[in-house]
A = this chain, B = another copy of it.
């Protein structure tokens, strides 16, 4: 299965090569991020997006931005490192993966002796490890969630929690890729996901590219689609999950969860353990990014709203834990009442998770 790579090193290793997701589905454009400005701009305007992917891109971008500082003194290098990490951290507030990845990079630097160039080499290895761990995590999430996708399943998803959002085959889409690979027939309905249309632009693009039948619907049509009996289950990603299992994800997720609950449909969240944030007791403590109203007001050069109207544009919402059937992670499946403290979930409905090893537990990434 040829899945796209949304974030990787450039061949020379001097840049982070990303797929510019703002250009999809019209054009497949790759961009090389080198400077700190490149990196912050690409994350800020969602050229690279998705909680796992921005963690990886942030860590890798920190490395490429620091290349010109490799000949500085260790003290100067570390000052620049801290300043750059702070700038990258400030680009987007909701997903926990980004600060987690940056904390891990800073901890790595603190543990390395020697020159700036020693530290840089260690940081490069750490960022590469983050990327490779994410790839492995995606596959484990897919394996753990695979029993949920039976032959003939009709799955609703929201936004894009696919290959474009991660270093691997995605989170919510991972079991769909694996089910398709295993010969199971699966149909995906995807909310277009206003305002930035990650569903119609990105999820529809990567699934149809893989030959998986996908139908785009308006966000407002999901509830009536469920009422009509066309959906078997919902599966979405997550940007941050609080200790009690409350899930922050793209705005509109809560509405989908409400509709799923009303229609008696299972509502699954698929996310790596790096998305779990046990430091927050519940979803009320998750910072919700409010983005520019222009995302709703304009599309390209077309103005959609009158200038006199206000616009409220929260990028995320919180789905309370009681509406979540299960949270599928790389270390297993967690069910209500959620308790992530052991760092290990159930081994899935059919125990088809022999390959799981808890190499990346919650504590090791925090």
Q: Are B312 and A221 in contact (CB under 8 A)?
A: yes
Alpha-carbon distance between A195 and B310 when the two chains are bound, in angstroms: 20
Q: Are A222 and B299 in contact (CB under 8 A)?
A: no
A208 in contact with B302 given A192-B296, A221-B314 (CB within 8 Å): no
The main secondary structure of chain A at its interface with chain B is mixed
Q: Are B259 and A255 in contact (CB under 8 A)?
A: yes
Q: Does A200 contact B (CB under 8 A)?
A: yes
Among A206-230, those with CB < 8 Å from B are 207-209, 213-225, 227
Beta-carbon nearest neighbor of A214 in chain B: B309
Q: Does A262 contact B (CB under 8 A)?
A: yes
Q: Are A219 and B220 in contact (CB under 8 A)?
A: yes
Q: Does A205 contact B (CB under 8 A)?
A: yes
**Which residues of chain B are within 8 angstroms of A61 by Cβ–Cβ distance?**
none
Q: Does A26 contact B (CB under 8 A)?
A: yes
A311 in contact with B215 given A254-B224, A300-B302 (CB within 8 Å): yes
Alpha-carbon distance between A318 and B335 when the two chains are bound, in angstroms: 33
**Which residues of chain B are within 8 angstroms of A197 by Cβ–Cβ distance?**
304
User: How many A residues touch B, CB cutoff 8 Å?
Assistant: 60
Q: Does A152 contact B (CB under 8 A)?
A: no
A310 in contact with B215 given A224-B255, A305-B204, A317-B224 (CB within 8 Å): yes
Alpha-carbon distance between A216 and B26 when the two chains are bound, in angstroms: 27
**Which residues of chain B are within 8 angstroms of A252 by Cβ–Cβ distance?**
218-221
Sample of 24 A–B contacts (CB below 8 Å): A25-B303, A25-B306, A26-B303, A194-B219, A204-B305, A205-B305, A205-B309, A208-B306, A209-B308, A215-B310, A215-B311, A216-B293, A216-B296, A216-B309, A217-B311, A217-B312, A218-B296, A219-B220, A223-B258, A223-B317, A224-B317, A224-B318, A258-B262, A262-B262
Identify the 10 closest CB pairs spanning chains A and B, nearest first. A220-B252, A208-B308, A224-B317, A204-B309, A223-B255, A25-B306, A215-B310, A194-B218, A219-B220, A200-B305
A residues whose Cβ falls under 8 Å from a Cβ of B:
25-26, 158, 189, 191-195, 197, 200-201, 204-205, 207-209, 213-225, 227, 250-256, 258-259, 262, 293, 296-297, 299-300, 302-306, 308-314, 317-318
